[in-house]
Structure 1
Amino acid sequence: MNALIYSNEYPPYNYGGAGVHVEYLTRELSKLSDVDVDVRAFGDQTESDYPLKVKGYPVDTSQFGAPKHLHSIFGSSQRAISYNADGNEADVVHCHTWYTHLAGIMTKMNYGIPLVITGHSLEPLRPWKREQLQGGYDFSSWVEKTALEMADAVIAVSQGTKTDILKHFNVSPEKVHVIYNGIDTEEYQPVDPSPALTKFKIPNDKPYVLFVGRITRQKGIMYLVEAIKYMNNHYNVVLCAGAPDTQEIAAEMKAA
């Protein structure tokens, strides 16, 4: 079997959980004796370690004349054409995140290949994305809806995600399969946190609440920040976070 995987994220260009998911999924798929894996991603990476092949498709969005908030929209659309123009010998195409859904739609329609979508998150549940994408949010929502409703199979990463998919999209329940995210227990094991606490000067004389994630409304970080003032002083709060998604949430974090 030839599996064609479309992703916006793939190492070394991971910024969220979807990229990690795709990295480990493709690694495990390539271990199967009868599966060749062809990954197409948004970076400039190139990897060929049979049966795993990775190709990045860079786009210089700085050259776009469109407003900056639409660059991700048109960048993903341009890559959708490039993914498909390269041709393929796939038996199935598997898409991750809305950024690749247009590419998946084109592959299914033009090549007649079965389309599988994994739902990591859903646009109807991310209304704050309008703050970031403005009119582009209508496009991303339309692309996601179109792809999910025409897919031959949909993978939900939790039972809750399956419930949300069935609630917001016209998808037959039989087409939605729950496959939970896994973990490599050989790689991820409990460690002594003391060196990290010392390095980052985190007091270890009392318990702490730890947040790990992006500064985005999707992660609910503002609820935690707003709750800090109601917590007693028996706890510390530690935020391990990346750069804010938008200037608006950056300002809210600074004001808090």
Structure 2
Amino acid sequence: MRRVAIVSEHASPIALAGSVDSGGQNVYVAQVARQLAAQGDKVDVFTRLDSPHLPLEMDWGEGVRIVHVPAGPARYLPKEDLLPYMGEFGAFMQRYFGTHSESYELVHANFFMSAMAALPVARRFGIPLAVTFHALGRVRRLHQAEADRFPDCRFDIEDEIVQEADCIIAECPQDRRDLIDLYGADPRRIRMVPCGFDPQEMWPMERSPARASLGWDKDAFYILQLGRMVPRKGVDNVIRGMARLRKKYGVDARLCVVGGNTAQPLDAATPELARLKAVARQEGVLDFVEFTGRRGRGQLRRYYCASDVFVTTPWYEPFGITPVEAMACGRPVVGSDTGGIRYTVVDGETGFLVPPKDPDALAARLARLARDQRLSANMGLAGARRADRLFTWERVAAELARVFDGLRQGNAAPVSAPGWDADAEARLMA
């Protein structure tokens, strides 16, 4: 049995995914904690106290405890505003580690600010530190430019973490290459472990009953976009692609957009929705786009299974859990040829890869799926097989456990083959 401290300063496992700062990292932290506990570990998740109504500590299922760290005001703050409070976050962890009789054997930090707060703690107590960045500052700046609100000091912080952490967890081959090319990371201390899906949450179901439960037209061609409502996710590109699909190819296409800061699609609560609605109105397809607002995890399977295709065309995506979930539900995926999507989606087999910000290319691929139901079905089956083989959270946690065991024994990550960690891929492909 290991005792593991997972640090996730802004992404709590109990937050509802789909709002601006609540997405894949929240799901990742929640699932990794649960799966490690299922393997017999004791897991404490350290996340910032963002509400005065939350307890300092709370049990969250067998073997998992959440520790709410008082750092900054006890209310929601955008993650870009949290950097000044990371000293306070780390100081709390120092005290907590020093006063609790249980000794942690490993710290797994998620995101650069968590690693920043955890690094001094790990060094003081002689505990190995593994880091999953989830997003890299230099990559973010490349794609978002002036829209990136993090200060330039993020780059120096990440440089130090890359050099000092005992192991860096890359989520896909592109992530590994970025760590080496942009940060000078030592390939010997990088291990690639992807994100995943929960087979108890996501599995195929018949399209017709799923559509009936949502009140969808039984004959229309439905496109699903699901995720956080922020510009880099490229939802505007999906709207424009759907408009071209209708006008140029004559497909009776509809688009469902799931996500937002509230359960209702309120422009005031989710400003990005107002921009997206304006795009749909400009394209003449507002009547064919359904904005649902945020939905709970238990509702998402119906949306995946009711759709004909899942589309995600972000400018960049460090990994992207939603394409894997859609594949697990037996749906073809059309995604941007970037980041983790390039790894999870096999072009021409489980779906299609398209350039981001190219609605014409997107529409052409969607038209092919709309006109060839056999191709669409075969891609959905292939995607489900790939998801089940490679991307369950159980397998992800088992691979992380192998990394953690090696670090506990004083071993750094093994030397990686050119391109990425071939040993991890071989185990995942087994």
TM range (shorter): 0.7 to 0.9
Matched-pair contact (CA < 8 Å) for 1:84–1:103? no
- Measured against aligned partners, the alpha-carbon deviations of 1:224-254 in whole angstroms (never above 9, x if no partner) come to 233333223412222112149x988555424
Do structure 1's residue 19 and structure 2's residue 26 form an aligned pair? yes
Aligned match of 1:52: 64
Aligned match of 2:256: 238
Matched-pair contact (CA < 8 Å) for 1:69–1:132? no
- Describe the shift of the 1:130–1:142 C-alpha distance in structure 2 as closer, same or farther (beyond 3 A): farther
Moved more, 39-48 or 93-102: 39-48
Offset of 1:93 from its aligned partner? 0.9
For 1:50 and 1:251, the matched residues in 2 are separated by: 42
For 2:191 and 2:70, the matched residues in 1 are separated by: 32
- Measured against aligned partners, the alpha-carbon deviations of 1:48-95 in whole angstroms (never above 9, x if no partner) come to 3664322112445389xxx98863222444323322232252222111
In structure 1, runs of 5+ residues without a counterpart are none
For 2:91 and 2:64, the matched residues in 1 are separated by: 22
Amino acid across the alignment from 2:35: E
Match of 1:131 among 147, 154, 158: 147
Aligned match of 2:110: 96
Aligned match of 2:7: 6
Offset of 1:154 from its aligned partner? 0.8
Offset of 1:29 from its aligned partner? 1.2
Amino acid across the alignment from 2:147: E
For 2:93 and 2:105, the matched residues in 1 are separated by: 15
Offset of 1:120 from its aligned partner? 1.8
Tell me the SS of whatever aligns to 1:29: helix
Q: CA RMSD in A?
A: 3.1
Aligned match of 1:83: 93
Larger strand share, 1 or 2 = 1
Offset of 1:146 from its aligned partner? 2.2
Aligned match of 1:148: 162
Amino acid across the alignment from 1:20: V
Offset of 1:97 from its aligned partner? 1.5
For 1:200 and 1:255, the matched residues in 2 are separated by: 25
Aligned match of 2:184: 170
- Describe the shift of the 1:69–1:108 C-alpha distance in structure 2 as closer, same or farther (beyond 3 A): closer
- Describe the shift of the 1:10–1:126 C-alpha distance in structure 2 as closer, same or farther (beyond 3 A): same
Equivalenced residues, count: 249
- Measured against aligned partners, the alpha-carbon deviations of 1:170-227 in whole angstroms (never above 9, x if no partner) come to 2111111111223332332223454554455433312222111111233232332333
For 2:236 and 2:197, the matched residues in 1 are separated by: 28
For 2:165 and 2:46, the matched residues in 1 are separated by: 19
Amino acid across the alignment from 1:54: I
Tell me the SS of whatever aligns to 2:152: helix
Offset of 1:36 from its aligned partner? 2.5
For 1:5 and 1:55, the matched residues in 2 are separated by: 10
Amino acid across the alignment from 1:87: F
Amino acid across the alignment from 1:6: V
Matched-pair contact (CA < 8 Å) for 1:95–1:118? yes
- Describe the shift of the 1:204–1:80 C-alpha distance in structure 2 as closer, same or farther (beyond 3 A): farther
| Bigger Rg over Cα | 2
- Describe the shift of the 1:118–1:204 C-alpha distance in structure 2 as closer, same or farther (beyond 3 A): same
Matched-pair contact (CA < 8 Å) for 2:14–2:30? no
For 2:73 and 2:154, the matched residues in 1 are separated by: 17
Tell me the SS of whatever aligns to 1:242: coil
For 2:233 and 2:81, the matched residues in 1 are separated by: 23
Amino acid across the alignment from 1:10: S
Amino acid across the alignment from 2:46: R
- Describe the shift of the 1:226–1:255 C-alpha distance in structure 2 as closer, same or farther (beyond 3 A): same
For 1:197 and 1:142, the matched residues in 2 are separated by: 49
In structure 2, runs of 5+ residues without a counterpart are 17-21, 262-266, 280-430
Matched-pair contact (CA < 8 Å) for 1:40–1:54? yes
Query: How many percent identity over aligned positions?
Result: 20
Moved more, 183-192 or 115-124: 183-192
- Describe the shift of the 1:13–1:76 C-alpha distance in structure 2 as closer, same or farther (beyond 3 A): farther
- Measured against aligned partners, the alpha-carbon deviations of 1:90-138 in whole angstroms (never above 9, x if no partner) come to 22211112231211222233333221011322222222275252xx332
